[in-house]
Amino acid sequence: IEQIAEWSSLARSQGTLALESEIEAVRDDFQRKGLQMIVDNTSPEDLPAVLGILAESTTRRQGMPGEVWEAAGGYSPTIGVMGAVLGLIHVMMRLDHPEELGGGIATAFVATIYGVGFANLIALPLGTRLKHMAAELERERGVVIQGFVLLAEGKPGIVIRQNLSSFLDDKGKPKPKPEPDEAPADATEQAA
């Protein structure tokens, strides 16, 4: 927010072409692209569409590892059960040695414990965390897009700060998007 407000002051005092010297200093590719669009005089109406597509593709790319880990968490108990079944098949082949049955069955079920443990202690939490990080990045990008729109409109830094601050929670993180209200089950409920 502060960076965009500073760019606004520079653009208002020296013109948007003065921002060209700032582009190389920006480390984030997304912000660099947005700033380049401002320098290129992209209209404020076009910025959200172009930057929105870029933000969405980045979010999708960054969310993929989370989906992979969640899928691994879904499949690993099944693989554990398959290991248990294979272990039990091996035990059944040795039914002529009853003293080995207990140990063999216990060993067979260890695969199930590993599968369930891996899923619930590693894969699913990691997948969820990665997906939350991607969603947070998407919300941050939304705030940045709004900031670039205000910058392109020539708004002063104080207006940009106030406007963008309304998107942040107490910790300075973008607020989650509100959940849409559920629509009534049928049209008669709406009329009532």
Q: Helices marked H in 44-100 — which ranges? A: 47-92
For 8-13, what is the mean pLDDT? 84
Q: In this predicted structure, what is the pLDDT of residue 183?
A: 46
In a domain, 190, yes or no: no
Q: In this predicted structure, what is the pLDDT of residue 189?
A: 46
Confidence of residue 17 (pLDDT cuts 50, 70, 90): confident
Put residue 11 in one of left, alpha, beta given phi > 0 → left and psi -120 to 50 → alpha: alpha
Alpha carbon 182 to its chain centroid, in Å, reads 24
Question: How many domains does the structure of the chain reveal?
Answer: 1
In a domain, 184, yes or no: no
In a domain, 21, yes or no: yes
Longest dimension (CA), the chain: 91
For 159-181, what is the mean pLDDT? 71
Q: Is the pLDDT of residue 57 over 60?
A: yes
Q: Which residue is associated with the tokens 């035990």?
A: 91
In a domain, 52, yes or no: yes
**What is the rounded end-to-end Cα distance, in angstroms, of the chain?**
45
In a domain, 183, yes or no: no
Q: In this predicted structure, what is the pLDDT of residue 192?
A: 41
Query: Do 33 and 51 touch, CB atoms closer than 8 A?
Result: yes
Q: Burial-class residue 62 by CB neighbours within 10 Å (0-12, 13-18, 19+).
A: middle
Long-range contacts of residues 4-9, Cβ cutoff 8 Å, at least 24 apart: 4/144, 4/147, 4/148, 4/150, 4/151, 4/160, 4/164, 5/157, 5/158, 5/160, 5/161, 6/157, 7/35, 7/38, 7/151, 8/150, 8/151, 8/154, 8/155, 8/156, 8/157, 8/160, 9/156, 9/157
What domain range includes position 146? 2-177
In a domain, 188, yes or no: no
In a domain, 156, yes or no: yes
Q: In this predicted structure, what is the pLDDT of residue 124?
A: 96
For 161-172, what is the mean pLDDT? 76
What beta strand segments (E) does the chain contain? none
In a domain, 142, yes or no: yes
Q: How far is CA 75 from CA 82, 88, 114, 121, 172, in A?
A: 11, 20, 12, 14, 37
Alpha carbon 97 to its chain centroid, in Å, reads 55
